[in-house]
Amino acid sequence: MGHGIAQVSAQVAGYEVSLLDVKQELVERGLAMIRESLARFVAKGALSQAEADSALSRIHPTTDLAEAVGGSQLVIEAATEDPGLKLDLYRRVSDRIAPDSTFASNTSSISITLLGSATGHPENVVGMHFFNPPQLMPLIEIIRGAKTSDATVAVVRGVAAAMKKETVLCKKDSPGIIVNRILVPALNEATLLVDEGVADPEDVDKAIALGLNWPMGPLKLLDYVGLDTALNISEVFMAEFQDGKYRPSPLIKRMVRAGLLGRKSGKGFYEWGSPGSTRPRG
């Protein structure tokens, strides 16, 4: 998600963006995906080559946390849905940003109140949940933590408007916000249909795309999201709600153990050709 958020920030809103990841190879992969996405916009006539080049010039890749967040007015975190990892990141970022900087999380399952508690200024911490792919999906869910200020919500609304996104406000800090509370059980059920031999992935996706008018079938969507991310979200939901409808399917667990994570690994329910590819083979 990080590379898509960076692209929208630079391309649509015109912001200067630092793109941070933990390894140089991951930063390079994110840049490659941005270049590929911009090239598709150019090929479709939605963007000129000059505009694409200008957007790319505003994205500054780095693996240095202090360099990435220093002087930033807004930090958008899109790390893996692992509470321990995120809390550690929030502590480290909190020490490196100005007291009035806004710190937004793209989390789809982890408590904003919890994340804010790891910082010195929880009033500046807010949820800013994009949808995949951020370059195309028009919605951002804004999530209040227990101490999130009105001013912080206003900052995020303004940034979303600059990105030409629509927003909805989740008034209560609840895992899954609005969309994923409904979506996660549906994605899990789709994997159960495959695991039980009821239908092949292609037919499950075709049935939902045509029968429910989804723009993308649930299993292809899982490949985009990342099966490891989906598994982490389900496990957070289970811990929070203690409700069996959020229990991850055995198939998702097996695929994650096997490294079949979706497009990020090159293979999930579909063959993606290469890690990070934006379209499946065939």
Q: Residues 194, 201: contact at Cβ < 8 Å? A: yes
Over residues 170-178, the mean pLDDT reads: 88
- E-assigned strand segments in 16-121: 17-20, 59-62, 74-77, 102-105
Cβ count within 10 A of residue 198 = 10
Highest mean pLDDT among 69-83, 168-182, 202-216 belongs to: 202-216
Range of lowest pLDDT (120-134, 138-152, 154-168, 227-241)? 227-241
Active site residues: 108, 129, 141, 180
Over residues 217-241, the mean pLDDT reads: 91
Position 43 pLDDT exceeds 80: yes
Q: Mind listing the domains of the chain with CATH numbers? A: 2-170 (3.40.50.720), 183-257 (1.10.1040.10)
Average pLDDT taken over every residue of the chain: 93
pLDDT for the residue 282: 47
Q: Return the closest-CA partner of residue 102 out of 111, 85, 115.
A: 115
Tens of pLDDT, residues 75-133 = 999 998 888 999 999 999 999 999 999 999 999 888 999 999 999 999 999 999 999 88
| Strand, helix or coil for residue 137 | coil
Share of the chain above pLDDT 90, in %: 81
Over residues 189-201, the mean pLDDT reads: 97
Question: Would you state the structure tokens that stand for residue 22, as one six-digit string?
Answer: 């933990």
Share of the chain above pLDDT 70, in %: 97
pLDDT for the residue 175: 79
pLDDT for the residue 174: 85
Q: Return the closest-CA partner of residue 18 out of 101, 142, 129.
A: 101
Position 281 pLDDT exceeds 70: no
Q: Return the closest-CA partner of residue 165 out of 12, 3, 32.
A: 12
More confident residue, 86 or 273: 86
DSSP class of 122: G
The Cα 59–Cα 133 span in angstroms is 18
Question: Would you state the structure tokens that stand for residue 270, as one six-digit string?
Answer: 């579909």
